[in-house]
Amino acid sequence: MRSQTLCFRSSRFRFFANYILMAVFVAAGIASYVLGYHLVIYAFFFGLTIFMLVVSEMKIMSDKIELSHDSITVELGLLSKKTRKINYHSISEIDVKQSFLQRLLGYGDLEIVVLGAHLQQNISHHFSGKGDVTLGSPDRTARGIVLKNFQSVRRIENEIMTRARKSHHLRHGRNR
């Protein structure tokens, strides 16, 4: 029996500053309406808020990590897509980093360490802002894939390690 495919997305908390700014824009729109400013100013603030909300939500939905029965697939990008697939038998360890606030809110950073990976500088992939996923790193500190500000990192860690152990067991069981 095969394991079910699980999908995880980056955390909405990575856009916390955007949501605060959206609230300020809504307040400014309401204030401009109440103070009798021109309708264009009111519409501008609400239009900007809606635009920011749509872009933030699209970014959350576009970056994901998918755990299938035999591999992990990391898919990134809003307009153009970058995909990286890692077989479970290639994973040696997983590092989770969470600040106190991240632990309270249930999100954090996850580094998937890949056995024998010689990640070159030219495959380093960076997005601007929080919630980035990095394949390798310019300073060579990352030893695999780094997922920043993803929700449910402890669940992702446990699921990947369970599936990696099963893959390792099946792989070595066949070789005997």
Q: Is 59 helix (H, G, I), strand (E, B) or coil?
A: helix
The more confident residue out of 28 and 135 is 28
Render pLDDT for 48-90 as a digit per residue (tens, 0 to 9). 999 999 999 998 888 889 999 889 998 888 888 888 888 888 8
For 152-172, what is the mean pLDDT? 85
Give one word for 136, left, alpha or beta, with left for phi > 0 and alpha for psi -120 to 50: left
Q: In whole angstroms, what is the distance from residue 127 CA to residue 77 CA? A: 8
Q: In whole angstroms, what is the distance from residue 26 CA to residue 156 CA? A: 36
Q: Is 82 helix (H, G, I), strand (E, B) or coil?
A: strand
Render pLDDT for 47-57 as a digit per residue (tens, 0 to 9). 999 999 999 99
DSSP string, 107-164: EEEEEEEETT----GGG-B--SSSS-EEES-TTS--SEEEEEEEETHHHHHHHHHHHH
Q: Is 62 helix (H, G, I), strand (E, B) or coil?
A: helix
Find all residues with CB under 8 Å of 25, minimum gap 6, and list them.
45, 46, 48, 49, 52
